A and B are shown apart, each in its own frame.
Chain A
């Protein structure tokens, strides 16, 4: 196949090193007429996409399959896109520089709602029709997965196949069936009908949606007999032995997470009521210390990285964290390998571990109280008390940290201005703790960053029925906070209301939004997650043109309303979500799953979890 000629363009762009495709540990295969071409597409720039562990896992996994060649592509930066459009260069896969339109599969990962426009823009650059119905038998199949796939209705019209849950097994099954079908005479419809019975495969075009006159959904039903009424997510039962790459691609250019990423466990047992990841990734499954040490050794050797990051939703919840960290340090200290632990909950145990990790840079520590008042933390089931937090920061200050970040959300259900004021109080109390610490012991230059994101109700969480604060209310709260947090040691950050509003619309959106996205892309929307790119006016024009009111999607819903994602089964029952929502209203805490099972439903059909 002909290569797309890009050398000329590389001389003209700012960071050409990201488009080379021959990074250390990238896969290069010989293509023949039997080769199935798969491209792992990340709808954001290289430095973000290459930091995504899931893409690296799937890339390496798919390349273990005979006759399948998996490559990568990212959203080209603006300078390259402009040149590509000028010179009519189609979007190409990095490794082979072959045009994407000749591929069998374009696999997009859906990490955040605001990247949807980039998917369409990339298809457009690849000269692949954006609507699945417009793509011919010889054009690529668009397959998607990732957290937003659980409600991917807003992009349902653009995709052919949705993978729900963990893809390591099901993607291989899909590819094997494709390979068989290619041998005996491929037909797109027949292929999709074959794979629709696999657990974890959702074919949006096999479902019809009926609406009520008020715009709400009446029912969602399959259009053929092969298709199940409800689609179950897929999980990996045996995380210990599931495929994990022994090598990761080492980029030439600097990326956000430029280190070995080692996944220590999946799922989270905390049950915070706003957290989608905590619900959809259940149940908790851990890898053993031995396995992780083995993988760490292989990965460090094959990449040459000097740092290893233990990734999970909440590292300190890993049962043998202390043992793991000690062993890793013991083995790799001589090679100056640093260990980083993102997503820590800081209790006393964790501080013991932090003391052990020599290389932890004392630049910043992050805490996530999420809400300012104890009442509101009980509402969201964030089992963290003020005492916990103040103990932790005191500990940190005594150990020499002087920069602390505090993450909060505003707009949480039942929140009032008093709760907002408590955020300020907490920030001030952190400063007080610093002042209490002996001047000899503490580092100079205290900096507390109070960061307030906007709460967005997400599908499959107990708050999925809740209203999203309207923009004026959020702005009012932000302004109020800005006024009261007036302290030389405290910096206050907050999110752009408009971007959060739009994210909320797509998080709980339905199929009618496909049209809006198409129009928005036509108007020039892309990189909506980047502040300098985001153009709310263009989005509002698109909603107007499609005669769709975005506020419809931000509203409060009742328990008996048919939700756009009700035909998706993540293993957690609606009954559980309702009971959690009711408990939140009574400010009642639900204990960690490891202490007491709350019967969320995940252990009914999914075995292998720790619960």
Chain B
């Protein structure tokens, strides 16, 4: 079994495509690029590939990860080049390498996601006082977020919204800069199948519980990297 792991970025207009559309899109891109991707068995064969985690519509990313299973070996460089040639502006493969078949899936190893948040603030303030606010915010033992269940299926029992403490899913918030009312923050949050916290939730909580209030339309999110645990450290999913 040949597995290739790659890291790609999603920027510009491409941030407006959904995760599901992206899955389909990659399948077709591989076909256009004549990459010998492996297919599942059955009446409706689909290309065998898996992503680390889904990215919301409107969120950019410097580091998305994808595992692809191949039928035939091709050079990693050729893989990157032929795929990049058919990808539109905004999507590009930065690195790829063959991984062992025993390697754990991306989905199971991803643990944290680091985001850059850019937003305009409603009130005039200084970086210092923002930093203080963030510090106070993080000093709390619990930050309760009420997660509302989507009512996708009307017939199913209407589940109640659930309360969750998101404090333990926040690993760090760093204020990077504040220039002309525009703030840039870095957040490290839980990501993956076990625990997952969206940066939008943290921003809304900051809005609610501190003096850091952003103009809603101005929030722009970029994922900087996805991390896995390695001993005591957290490192990118793929070392290059």
User: Which residues of A line the B interface, CB within 8 A?
Assistant: 8, 10-12, 15-17, 19-20, 22-24, 250, 252-254, 258, 300-306, 335-336, 338, 358-359, 361-362
B32 in contact with A16 (CB, 8 Å): no
A250 and B45 within 8 A (CB): no
Instruction: Collect the chain A residues with CB atoms within 8 Å of residue B39's CB.
Output: 336
Known: A16-B16, A17-B16, A22-B89. A304 touches B21 (CB 8 A): no
Q: How far is the CB of B58 from chain A (nearest CB, A)?
A: 5
> Which residues from chain A contact B57 at a C-beta distance below 8 Å?
16-17
Which residue of chain B lies nearest to A337 when distances are taken between CB atoms in the complex? B31
Tell me which of A20, A304, A336, A362 contacts B13 (CB under 8 A): A20
Asked if B122 is at the interface of the complex by the 8 Å CB criterion, the answer is no
Quick check: B86 and A24 within 8 Å, CB to CB? Answer: yes
CA distance A301 to B32 in the complex (A): 6
B153 CB within 8 Å of chain A:
no
Which residue in A17, A304, A359, A362 is a CB contact (below 8 Å) of B29?
A304
In the complex, what residues of A have CB within 8 A of residue B28's CB?
Answer: 24, 250, 303-306
Inter-chain CA distance A335–B89, complex, in Å, is 27
A254 with B24: CB separation less than 8 A: yes
Chain B interface, number of residues (Cβ within 8 angstroms) = 24
Q: Which of B25, B44, B58, B89 is A252 in contact with, Cβ under 8 Å?
A: B25
Please name 15 further chain A to chain B contacts, defined as beta carbons within 8 Å, in addition to the given A24-B86, A304-B30, A335-B31, sorted by A numbering: A10-B16, A11-B217, A12-B217, A16-B16, A22-B89, A23-B88, A24-B88, A250-B28, A252-B16, A254-B24, A302-B32, A306-B28, A358-B43, A359-B44, A361-B44
Inter-chain CA distance A325–B156, complex, in Å, is 44
Nearest CB of A to B28, in Å: 3
Partner of B58, one of A16, A24, A254, A303: A16
For the residues of B in contact with A, the DSSP-based class is: helix
Which parts of B1-51 form the interface with A (CB within 8 Å)? Answer: 13, 16-18, 20-21, 24-25, 27-32, 39, 43-45
Q: How far is the CA of A73 from the CA of B65 in the complex (A)?
A: 34
Q: How far is the CA of A20 from the CA of B217 in the complex (A)?
A: 20
B residues sitting closer than 8 Å to A (CB atoms) are 13, 16-18, 20-21, 24-25, 27-32, 39, 43-45, 57-58, 86, 88-89, 217
List 27 A-B residue pairs with CB atoms under 8 Å apart, sorted by A's residue number.
Answer: A10-B16, A12-B217, A16-B57, A16-B58, A17-B18, A17-B21, A22-B88, A23-B88, A24-B28, A24-B88, A250-B28, A252-B16, A252-B25, A253-B17, A253-B21, A254-B20, A254-B21, A300-B31, A301-B32, A303-B32, A304-B30, A304-B32, A306-B31, A335-B31, A338-B44, A359-B44, A361-B43
Which chain B residue shows the least CB distance to A358?
B43
- The reply to whether A252 and B21 form a contact with Cβ atoms under 8 Å apart is yes
Complex Cα distance, B21 from A254, in Å, reads 7
Residues of B within 8 A of A306 (CB): 27-28, 31
Q: Hey, which chain A residues are within 8 Å of B30, CB to CB?
A: 304
Considering only CB atoms, which chain A residue lies closest to B39 in the complex? A336
B221 to chain A, nearest CB (A): 10
A336 to B43, CA, bound (A): 10
**Docked CA distance A12–B217 (Å):** 8
A221 to B25, CA, bound (A): 53
Set of chain B residues within 8 Å of A11, measured between Cβ atoms: 58, 217
The reply to whether A252 and B17 form a contact with Cβ atoms under 8 Å apart is yes
A56 to B30 alpha-carbon distance, docked (Å) = 23
Question: Residue of B at shortest CB range from A250?
Answer: B28
A253 & B18 in contact (Cβ 8 Å cutoff): yes
Contact between A304 and B31, CB atoms less than 8 A apart: yes
Residue numbers in B under 8 Å from A20 (CB-CB):
13, 16
Residues of B contacting A300 in the complex (Cβ-Cβ under 8 angstroms): 31
- Min CB–CB distance B208 → chain A (angstroms): 21
In the bound assembly, the distance between CA atoms of A252 and B28 in angstroms comes to 11
Q: Which of A252, A253, A362 counts the most chain B CB atoms within 10 A?
A: A252
Q: Is the CB of A17 within 8 A of B32?
A: no
- Give Cα A324 to B111, complex, Å: 51
Q: Which residues of A contact B27 (CB under 8 A)?
A: 304, 306
Chain B residue with Cβ nearest A19: B16
Cα distance A250–B30 when bound, in Å? 14
Structural contact, B13 and A22, CB atoms closer than 8 A:
yes
Residues of B within 8 A of A252 (CB): 16-17, 21, 25
Q: Does A17 lie within 8 Å of B31, measured CB to CB?
A: no
Chain A positions within 8 Å of B88 at CB level: 22-24
Nearest A residue to B33 via CB reads A304
Expressed in whole angstroms, the Cα–Cα distance for A304 and B58 within the complex equals 25
Give every chain A residue within 8 A of B21 (Cβ-Cβ): 17, 252-254
On chain A, the residues within 8 Å of B18 by CB distance are 15, 17, 253
Contacts of A301 in B (CB 8 A): 32
Q: Which residues of B contact A8 (CB under 8 A)?
A: 217
Chain B CB within 10 Å — which of A12, A19, A250, A306 has the most?
A: A306
- Chain A positions within 8 Å of B29 at CB level: 304
Closest residue to B88 on the A side, CB-wise? A22
CA distance A302 to B25 in the complex (A): 13
